[in-house]
Structures are given as structure tokens and as C-alpha cells.
């Protein structure tokens, strides 16, 4: 029998979100029902609301969540009611050509729940990133629910489901930051600070935070930045070179995703250095670089999608690092809010006043 729950819905492009009653079905084969405890407000949710990802309105927003398994469907054996989980928007299938090649983080057939959640009158909802967790309960594929240590408070734990994992993985997995490396991170929001934390944990000897906001730069030091550069009034390329013996950084992470920051990152690298783009660009953005520079500077230009993570492997590790005091997930939580405050949280996010607003249910 469907469950009637309150949830945050984006009904029309660009319109304020609404708190609605929705219907969530009991889990079918391979699905689990999750009682959501907390869910972060991510830029991706705002992109859905504004129609920047697709036009499949209405959307059920929210995807950066932690909660407890309430029920499991037929065939689900790895999870049971009462398990504490973090939700992932990638659930590798194990059988596609990428999974068979040993690269499940690139899975081309990631799983989602097959049954739709709907408005009370029956209109199907499109769940953000296949999750839809601004809701008291949500339905996901079993592979999207990753069991973690229940001692981690949900307000912090849920954040590894998207932004923290994306930034951390951009440094540790995609950028392969190693002991003694110098790293520059452009953009000190939630993803950028997670990249800073990841680089620090990986053993970087110098982590340079680059942003145009002194408040964000001050905050970046909490996550492991050793140096800061305000690029509003300073050439960040020359500043980073100046902090690295005139050479540039071994690894540069662009957590903004704009042509100007990508160009800065390209020239901010040392020769044969690595540039990782994790910030999501708008579809119409373009980059123009001299081909001779692409050839002569060498190195690697990479994009990082979800931090090249394997949720079943990485989520428990990040939670363990949080519980041991090595990863400051609490530092990402600027405020906790109720379901009916998501629209105001979007305003704060646009203005750069928060790292994360977290809905607590």
C-alpha cells in the first residue's frame, strides 16, 4: 500500500518549490524503502528546479541523504530493515562494458528504482538524480543504499552522498594526489573544500585555496588549506606559481567549472601536471586554448564525475575517517532546516552564505 508523505516538489521551471503530499510505493524487486533522516541542499537540486538539467517536471528534489531502511523488496539480501544508509546516485550494475573492464565508477547502466513515486493525484515524479530525498520516505534501488556506521550523525553522513564525495574523490581518485604533492583548488564551496580535505588527507604538502571571497578562503583553512589566494584582485596563476617555487602545482582542481577558471587551472599547473575539472559547466560554455600549449605543457586534463567513486567502497571509508576525526564533515553543515525551508536555502546558496543547508526530518 502506498505511503503518504510530505516532500519538496519542483512543479514548474523556475517556480518556487512546493511542499506537497506524495505517494511512495512499497518496494518491489531490487528496491528498498528509506525513511530519510537528513538531506543536504545541493546546487544540483537548484539546477533541477531551474530546468537546467532536463524538462521532466515535476521533480522530486533532494539526493544528498542519510536514513534508515524501512522495508526491502524481493531479492534484496544485502540490506535489512533498520540498516543505517547513505544514498548514492550511482549504483554500478556490475555487467556493463565499463564494469566488466574493472571501472565500475563509470558504469553505463547505473540502477534506480523502477516504480514511480507520484503526486497524490497520480502524476509521476522525476526524482532528482534517481533519489528524491527531500521527503519523509523515498524509494531507491538497493544498490543506491550504502550501509555505514550508525554512529555518524545523519546531518553530516548524508553529505558524502554527493558534494563531499565529488570533491574528495576529485583529489584522491581522479587527481591521484600523493604524499608531497602541491595542490591548488579553485572554488571554495562545498565541493572545493572537500577536495582540499581530500588532498590534505592524501598527504599533499601544500594545498592552495583560490577564491574571490575572503570568507570562503578563511573557511578553507579549516579543511586543510595551507595557503589562500583571493583571485578578485590578484592573478591566481602567478600567485600559485609564486607559492610553488615558480613552477605551478602538481595537481589543480577546478571546482567552479567556468571557462575562465579552467584556463587559470590549465596554466596554474606545473609542466606535466594534472588538471581536474569537477565543477559542472553550463551546456553552452566553451574553452579555447592554443594547441601548442596543450602539446608542450604535457600532463593530464581530466574530468571527475562523482569523484570517480565506488560508493560501496568509499562511503564507509569516509564515514570511518569522519568518526576518527580525520574528515571534518560537521564543518560542511552551516545550518539545519525543515522541509518547508528549502526555497530560502536556495537563496542562501546563491549568495554564498552557506556551505550546506541540511534538511532534518
pLDDT in tens, 36-73: 999 999 999 999 999 988 899 999 999 999 999 999 99
Q: How many residues does the chain have?
A: 361
Bridging pattern class, strands 357-360 and 249-254: unpaired
pLDDT at 330 over 90: yes
Quote the cell numbers at residue 26. Answer: 512499497
Q: How confident is the model at residue 314 (pLDDT cuts 50, 70, 90)?
A: very high
pLDDT in tens, 101-140: 999 989 999 999 999 999 999 999 999 999 999 999 999 9
What's the confidence (pLDDT) of residue 339?
98
pLDDT in tens, 89-99: 999 999 999 99
pLDDT at 1 over 90: no
From residue 92, give the alpha-carbon distance in Å to each of 63, 66, 103, 126, 150: 17, 19, 9, 20, 24
What's the confidence (pLDDT) of residue 343?
97
Average pLDDT over residues 298-313: 96
DSSP 249: E
Extract the runs of DSSP E, i.e. beta strands, from 136-234: 137-141, 145-147, 182-186, 206-211, 227-230
Q: How confident is the model at residue 283 (pLDDT cuts 50, 70, 90)?
A: confident
The rounded mean pLDDT for the chain is: 96
CB 170 within 8 A of CB 307: yes
What's the confidence (pLDDT) of residue 236?
98
Determine whether 121 is exposed, middle or buried from the number of CB atoms within 10 Å of its CB (0-12, 13-18, 19+).
exposed
Q: How confident is the model at residue 282 (pLDDT cuts 50, 70, 90)?
A: confident
Rounded distance between C-alpha atoms, residue 359 and residue 306, angstroms? 22
pLDDT in tens, 227-240: 999 999 999 999 99
Average pLDDT over residues 5-15: 96
Q: In the chain, pLDDT over 70 holds for what percent of residues?
A: 100
Average pLDDT over residues 142-156: 98
Q: How confident is the model at residue 147 (pLDDT cuts 50, 70, 90)?
A: very high
- Beta-bridge mates of residue 83: none
- For helices 236-243 and 259-268, angle between their N-to-C axes, nearest 10 degrees: 30
Extract the runs of DSSP E, i.e. beta strands, from the chain: 3-10, 18-24, 31-40, 59-60, 64-72, 84-87, 118-119, 126-127, 137-141, 145-147, 182-186, 206-211, 227-230, 249-254, 269-277, 300-303, 335-337, 357-360
Which has the closest alpha carbon to 152: 317, 312, 36, 320? 320
Q: In the chain, pLDDT over 90 holds for what percent of residues?
A: 95
Rounded distance between C-alpha atoms, residue 155 and residue 338, angstroms? 12
Amino acid at each position: 500500500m502506498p505511503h503518504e508523505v510530505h516532500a519538496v516538489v519542483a512543479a514548474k521551471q523556475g517556480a518556487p518549490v512546493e511542499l506537497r503530499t506524495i505517494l511512495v510505493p512499497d518496494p518491489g524487486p531490487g528496491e528498498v524503502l528509506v525513511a530519510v533522516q537528513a538531506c543536504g541542499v545541493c546546487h544540483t537540486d537548484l539546477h533541477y528546479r531551474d530546468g537546467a538539467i532536463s524538462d521532466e517536471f515535476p521533480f522530486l528534489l533532494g539526493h544528498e541523504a542519510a536514513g534508515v531502511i524501512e522495508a526491502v523488496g524481493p531479492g534484496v539480501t544485502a540490506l535489512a530493515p533498520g540498516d543505517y544508509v547513505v544514498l548514492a546516485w550511482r549504483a554500478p550494475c556490475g555487467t556493463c562494458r565499463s564494469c566488466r573492464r574493472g571501472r565500475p565508477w563509470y558504469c553505463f547502466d547505473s540502477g534506480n528504482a523502477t516504480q514511480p513515486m507520484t503526486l497524490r493525484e497520480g502524476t509521476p515524479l522525476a526524482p532528482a538524480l534517481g533519489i528524491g530525498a527531500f521527503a519523509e520516505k523515498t524509494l531507491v534501488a538497493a544498490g543506491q543504499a550504502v550501509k555505514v556506521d550508525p554512529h555518524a550523525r545523519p546531518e553530516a553522513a548524508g553529505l558524502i552522498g554527493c558534494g563531499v564525495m565529488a570533491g574528495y574523490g576529485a583529489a584522491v581518485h581522479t587527481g591521484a594526489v600523493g604524499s608531497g604533492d602541491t595542490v591548488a583548488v579553485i572554488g571554495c564551496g562545498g565541493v572545493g573544500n572537500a577536495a582540499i580535505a581530500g588532498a590534505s588527507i592524501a598527504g599533499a604538502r601544500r594545498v592552495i585555496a583560490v577564491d574571490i571571497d575572503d570568507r570562503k578562503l578563511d573557511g578553507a583553512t579549516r579543511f586543510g588549506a595551507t595557503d589562500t589566494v583571493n583571485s578578485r584582485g590578484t592573478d591566481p596563476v602567478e600567485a600559485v606559481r609564486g607559492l610553488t617555487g615558480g613552477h605551478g602545482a602538481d595537481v589543480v582542481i577546478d571546482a567552479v567549472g567556468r571557462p575562465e577558471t579552467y584556463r587559470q587551472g590549465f596554466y596554474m599547473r606545473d609542466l606535466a601536471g594534472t588538471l581536474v575539472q569537477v565543477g559542472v559547466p553550463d551546456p553552452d560554455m566553451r574553452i579555447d586554448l592554443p594547441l601548442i600549449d596543450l602539446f608542450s605543457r604535457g600532463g593530464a586534463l581530466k574530468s571527475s564525475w562523482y569523484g570517480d567513486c565506488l560508493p560501496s567502497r568509499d562511503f564507509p571509508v569516509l564515514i570511518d575517517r569522519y568518526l576518527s576525526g580525520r574528515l571534518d564533515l560537521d564543518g560542511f553543515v552551516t545550518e539545519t532546516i525543515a522541509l518547508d525551508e528549502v526555497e530560502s536555502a536556495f537563496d542562501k546558496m546563491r549568495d554564498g552564505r552557506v556551505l550546506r543547508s541540511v534538511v532534518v526530518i
